[in-house]
Chains A and B, each alone.
Chain A
Amino acid sequence: MRLLGIVLLFLTVIQADELEMFDVVDTKNNESRTLDSSDFNARIKLSYLAQDEQTNNAVLFADMSDHKKHYVYDLRLVVDGDAYDVYVKDLYYKTALDTTYFVELGRMNVKEGVARGYNPTDYFRSGSALTLSVDPKERKDNRLGAVLVQGTYIAEDYTLKALYAPKISVDKSSIWGNKKHFGLKLHETNTQERVTLYAGYTGLDDWSLSALVHHNDDGIHLGTNISYIDERAIWYMEASVNKRAEQITQVLEALNAPSELMANFSTDTSYQTELSLGLNYTFENSVVGTFEYIYNSAGFDSHDWKTYFKLMQTSDKHAPVLGKARGLIANNAQQMSKHTLFAMVRKSDALPNLDWVAMAWVNPVDRSTLLQVGTSYDYHDVLLSTDIRSYIGQRQSEYGSMPNDFEALLSVAYFF
């Protein structure tokens, strides 16, 4: 019987006329095509994080956003145990002076950068993270905008932008600060005065180029984004240069760390470079791979890591400050080390309705790795996803020193 089934299936496959086969399908295809073509989006997501060392945790997220002719909003509700908070990720007014000049005013997420893993020219990331994530896409989603005014001119082959974000001093307990349940957190997103000038050129067939000048408390940053497409490959380079101290020194200064702790790290100011160099490639089987090298001259080299771990082990006084400093660097979504490798491989519909993604952050010096493998399954308007994260490496290595060796995140989301 089984053999007969196999034979029949074989005959069906070799004899079926392609056009006949899908004419049958035509009669089955009667679904309604009435659609909401607005830009309103809403979703609710329940996430459960299981960890091997720290407490397991369930969090409920609800997001609501819309994009109207003259305003944009994006709100998030986070319920974590008995605590709940409402965040205003974006809320801004926008207008077009004609078809080429645009002005936006309010809290706005500004994101720059052609790189996929780490964006050196994403100057507005500091102080904006709502939750920490290893997934670059999640990092961009989970953040607050800054209050700013932006003017844009879009011409045939180029774009010019000017942006100003003021420093805003607020009472931390007020609604403008970190008021319980609802605070705009301006003391985190607008801690310094910032100006960005941007020029982008897209007039070349295969190349895209942009240059940025950004000014903040660290002085002037010069940035560039370059990408080149060649059939299935997109090559890219993103870089930023500015004169400042080492990353750890800056963070320790911000934390008012004692001078005897500061003395363990270089306090020299010099030109620092951040660079992301990568390739995004679409394979014939629809697998999309990204491979990126990240250089941060202000980050830790192997000597700095040794000093860091030695102090963490031997000094009860300095260890909490160093822990905080590392947390602050992660919160600013900066790279801790001088050299990092990032790889991501994604396959959409690996099985029907099932996407698969694997990503790795690797410190090539101490060979520690953060590996995440995830799947997401969509059924109608429900998305079920799992992410398994493993921190691999010796205890005194970048990723091996993380509190957990293993984490698993299970999420279920419903889209309205």
Chain B
Amino acid sequence: MKLLTTILLSSTLAFSLNVQEIVQKSDAIRNVGGSMYERGYIVEYKNARKVDSMTIDIYAKAYGNGFKTLVKILSPKKDKGKLILRSGNKMWLYDPNSKATAQMSPQQRLMGQSSSADVMSANFAKDYRLTLVGVERIKNGAKQMRDAYKVAMRAKSTSVSYPIVEYWVDKENFRPILAKFYTSTKKLLKKSYYRKYKNVLGTMRPTQVLIIDGVDTRKATKLDFSHMKQANLPATWFKKSYLPKFQSD
């Protein structure tokens, strides 16, 4: 009996280690380590027709197991110059017109189906408790059928942006394929397809995320990322007190 318990415990440990590794490898594809810059172009669609668009500059810096991210809105003109900072669980919006900084929830909408959290670097392996559900054959962003690990994820703390996530990772190369984001009551909020893999900074990374509304699938938001590069960014940029002083030139 004791031997059986040990075998069961060992196999459970090995299984959970594998899940952790799968998601860590996938995180390393989605996120660039160190400090980085990229430009994001967000387009909101309804019934496959463009409704709105937004362009942002994204600055991210790894710290500990997580990231601090600063987003500067370049367009539309009415929002130009607004800054969104995420540091750990906390997020702030600085408005250059009112020159005021307000704390906001990461779930607060940025545009269309995308929340501010969607454009921020995130470390799934650190923020979630992971369970490997199995291997499923699903269609990836390039519409090829692929064997994928299906991972069930539950947030470790209430301040993580999405309480429950289902995540599909390509079995062969650990590339993220699809994530479904749920409320704590398991209501589907949205699904994100990770698409258009390109060689960025030596690794094949997704340069597009297609977010489809959980209820009305005719509503979608597409996030295209470009100009990604590693950059030496001062730690001060990622402090709330620095927001009124921020100047990227």
Could you tell me which A residues sit within 8 Å of B by CB distance?
13, 16, 18-22, 24-25, 28-29, 31, 33, 35-39, 41, 43, 63, 65, 67-69, 74, 90, 94, 96, 99-100, 102, 109, 111, 114, 116, 137, 140-141, 152, 154, 156, 159, 161, 200, 202, 205-206, 208, 227, 229-234, 236, 280-282, 284, 286, 288, 348-349, 352-353, 378, 381, 383, 413, 415-416
Please report whether the interface of chain B is mostly helix, strand, loop or mixed according to DSSP. Answer: mixed
Given A19-B141, A156-B235, A206-B90, verify A109-B241 contact (CB < 8 Å): no
Nearest chain B CB to A61 CB, angstrom units: 12
Distance, CA A22 to CA B220, complexed state (A): 8
Contact: A114 with B81, CB < 8 Å? no
Q: Is chain A's binding surface mostly helix, strand, loop or mixed?
A: mixed
Contact flag A111-B81 (CB < 8 Å), given A18-B217, A22-B220: no
> Which residue of B48, B53, B74, B78 is within 8 Å of A21 (Cβ)?
B48
Identify the B interface with A (CB < 8 A). 39, 41, 43-46, 48, 50-53, 55, 57, 74-78, 80-81, 87-90, 95-105, 107-109, 112, 139, 141, 143, 157-160, 163, 183-184, 187, 189, 191, 193, 195, 210, 212, 217-218, 220, 222, 234-236, 239-242, 245, 247-249
Q: Are A19 and B139 in contact (CB under 8 A)?
A: yes
Q: Which of A31, A154, A286, A381 is in CB contact (< 8 Å) with B76?
A: A381
Known: A29-B50, A96-B245, A229-B103. 16 other contacts (CB 8 A): A13-B217, A22-B48, A25-B43, A25-B50, A41-B80, A99-B234, A140-B99, A152-B241, A205-B88, A205-B89, A205-B157, A231-B184, A234-B104, A280-B103, A280-B104, A353-B52
Assembly CA distance A229 to B160 (angstroms): 10
Q: How far is the CB of B102 from chain A (nearest CB, A)?
A: 7
Interfacial chain B residues near A68, Cβ < 8 Å: 247
CB distance from A233 to the nearest CB of B (A): 7
A415 CA to B77 CA in the complex, in Å?
Answer: 6
CA distance A205 to B183 in the complex (A): 22
Question: Considering only CB atoms, which chain B residue lies closest to A70 in the complex?
Answer: B247
Given the known interface contacts A39-B81, A94-B245, the answer about A137 and B98 at a Cβ–Cβ threshold of 8 Å is yes
B193 to chain A, nearest CB (A): 7
Cα A33 to Cα B210 in complex, Å, equals 19
Task: Report the separation of the CA atoms of residues A378 and B53 in the bound assembly, to the nearest whole angstrom.
Answer: 12
Known: A22-B222, A35-B74, A230-B158. A202 touches B45 (CB 8 A): no
Question: Smallest CB-CB separation from A141: which chain B residue?
Answer: B98
Sort A-B residue pairs by CB-CB distance and give the 5 closest, nearest first: A415-B77, A140-B98, A159-B241, A282-B105, A231-B158
Tell me which residues across on chain A come within 8 A of B189, comparing CB atoms.
284
In Å, the complex CA distance between A16 and B164 comes to: 26
The docked-state distance in angstroms from the alpha carbon of A161 to that of B78 is 31
15 CB-based A-B contacts, threshold 8 Å: A21-B48, A33-B39, A35-B55, A39-B247, A111-B99, A152-B241, A154-B239, A159-B241, A230-B158, A284-B189, A349-B52, A352-B46, A381-B76, A381-B77, A413-B78
Residue of A nearest to B215 (CB): A285
Q: For B41, what are the chain A residues with a Cβ–Cβ distance below 8 Å? A: 33
Given known A13-B217, A140-B100, contact A286–B247 (CB-CB < 8 A): no
Assess whether B77 is in contact with A28, with CB atoms less than 8 Å apart.
Answer: no
The smallest beta-carbon distance between A408 and chain B, in angstroms, is 22
Residues of chain B within 8 A of A116, CB atoms compared: 102
Interchain CB contact (< 8 A) of A415 among B78, B90, B102, B109? B78
Interface centre among B44, B158, B239, B241 (most CB of A within 10 A): B241
Contacts of B158 in A (CB 8 A): 230-231
Beta-carbon contact of B78 and A383 below 8 Å: yes
Note all chain A residues with C-beta closer than 8 A to B157: 205
Structural contact, B78 and A65, CB atoms closer than 8 A: no
- Give complex CA distance A202, B141 in Å: 39
CB distance from A71 to the nearest CB of B (A): 10
**Given known contacts A28-B50, A65-B96, A18 and B193 CB-to-CB distance under 8 angstroms:** yes
